[in-house]
């Protein structure tokens, strides 16, 4: 069986890049261990909660951020860390050639319900500075903490899937994920319908109309509410994920973050034959203006994403 280190050596001669991915995988394995025992340790994920000894607990997203930071600080290839948990970028090794941007614990509002959460990361060349387009990424990946712990990553070729075994090793379980071109599943927070633009409303209406509607087929809805879990499902069996610009998120530019949510997920989805857009153009060419910038996100099965793009072209 191929493990992560073997796969990396077949994918890139760049030892620094491979080491950055291995550092994130090691952080993911450690976070998986913390999450597994969190209810016993009294770490509900809520800031200000107490453990069984009555001691104050750090929120799990802060703990996860510290774990990622510790692993990357040990790696001399990393120059800067950008994290959802930290207002400012953190300088690491002055000789480092690589920047890592991360959401250390995505979907953390689902933690108290023992629902899948994840760690997302993007690797960029230090030479390009903090604000680089997603197309400049050297690699990206995520860890999904579900019934199994999955590590999904891509350098420039295929998007590959690894699973954490009982001994703490990442074993390749899918060499190349392929997102089916067409799908009958969409993922969107329908509670936001009143804020949607005409394109989003048009696409969803067309889909829920089923066989009788313009799409001419039946759809089902799946929405976990953890981006990592929703995207992992799409990578495994297809579908579309939408967090579009709507009237409530308009002033902020969207809901999800460009550097450590949208770009890495678009990179992984495209490596699996899927498609991604903001509705107005590809996610990977958006010029960042801020490390915590938000952006509309639509990605998944190519045929479905094209249907949404067609609605935007008309709207
Ligand atoms: P969370 O705030 O729980 O970390 O990244 C933000 C995110 O989760 C995504 O994982 C998820 O897709 C989205 O928010 C869900 O947001 P809403 O429940 O506000 O729609």
**Alpha-carbon distances, residue 113 vs 44, 144, 204 (angstroms):** 9, 15, 28
CA end-to-end span of the chain: 50
Q: Is the CB of residue 164 less than 8 Å from the CB of residue 123?
A: no
Mutate to test the pocket of ligand 1, among 112, 189, 226 (most ligand atoms within 8 A of CB): 226
Distance between Cα 140 and ligand 1 center (Å): 19
Q: Which two tokens stand for residue 219?
A: 């759809």
Summarize pLDDT for 246-298 with one digit per residue, the tens.
999 999 999 999 999 999 999 999 999 999 999 999 999 999 999 999 999 99
pLDDT of residue 214: 84
What pTM did the predictor assign? 0.95
Distance 114 CA to ligand 1 centre (A): 15
**Packing angle of the helix pair 4-11, 15-41 (nearest 10 deg):** 150
pLDDT in tens, 197-248: 999 999 999 999 999 888 899 999 999 999 999 999 999 999 999 999 999 9
CA of 107 to the centre of ligand 1 (A): 5
Distance 216 CA to ligand 1 centre (A): 31
Write the burial class of residue 206 (CB in 10 Å: 0-12 exposed, 13-18 middle, 19+ buried): middle
Q: Name which of 155, 244, 140 is nearest 196 in CA terms.
A: 244
CB 233 within 8 Å of CB 240: no
Which tens digits make up the pLDDT trace of 105-144? 999 888 888 999 999 999 999 999 999 999 999 999 999 9
Which atom from ligand 1 is nearest to the alpha carbon of 230? 12
> Could you tell me which residues are beta bridge partners of residue 160?
153
């Amino acid at each position: 069986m191929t493990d992560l280190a073997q796969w990396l050596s077949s994918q890139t001669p760049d030892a620094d890049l491979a080491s950055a991915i291995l550092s994130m995988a090691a952080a993911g394995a450690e976070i998986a261990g913390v999450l597994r025992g969190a209810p016993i340790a009294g770490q509900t994920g809520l800031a200000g909660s107490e453990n069984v000894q009555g001691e104050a607990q750090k929120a799990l997203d802060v703990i996860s951020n510290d774990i990622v930071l510790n692993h990357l600080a040990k790696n001399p290839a990393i120059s800067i860390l950008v994290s959802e948990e930290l207002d400012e970028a953190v300088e690491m090794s002055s000789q480092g050639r690589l920047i890592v941007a991360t959401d250390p614990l995505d979907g953390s509002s689902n933690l108290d319900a023992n629902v899948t959460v994840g760690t997302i990361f993007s690797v960029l060349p230090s030479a390009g500075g903090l604000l680089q387009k997603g197309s400049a990424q050297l690699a990206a990946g995520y860890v999904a903490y579900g019934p199994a712990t999955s590590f999904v990553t891509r350098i420039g070729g295929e998007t590959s899937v690894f699973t954490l075994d009982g001994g703490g090793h990442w074993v390749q379980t899918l060499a190349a994920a392929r997102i089916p071109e067409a799908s009958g599943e969409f993922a969107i927070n329908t509670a936001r319908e009143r804020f949607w633009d005409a394109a989003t409303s048009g696409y969803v209406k067309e889909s829920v109309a089923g066989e009788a509607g313009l799409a001419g087929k039946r759809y089902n809805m799946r929405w976990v509410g953890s981006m990592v879990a929703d995207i992992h499902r799409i990578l495994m069996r297809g579908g579309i994920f939408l967090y579009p610009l709507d009237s409530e998120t308009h002033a902020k530019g969207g809901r999800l973050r460009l550097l450590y949510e949208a770009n890495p997920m678009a990179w992984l989805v495209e490596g699996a034959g899927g498609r991604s857009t903001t509705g107005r153009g590809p996610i990977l060419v958006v010029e960042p203006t801020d490390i915590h910038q938000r952006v509309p996100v639509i990605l998944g099965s190519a045929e479905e994403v094209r249907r949404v793009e067609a609605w935007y072209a008309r709207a």
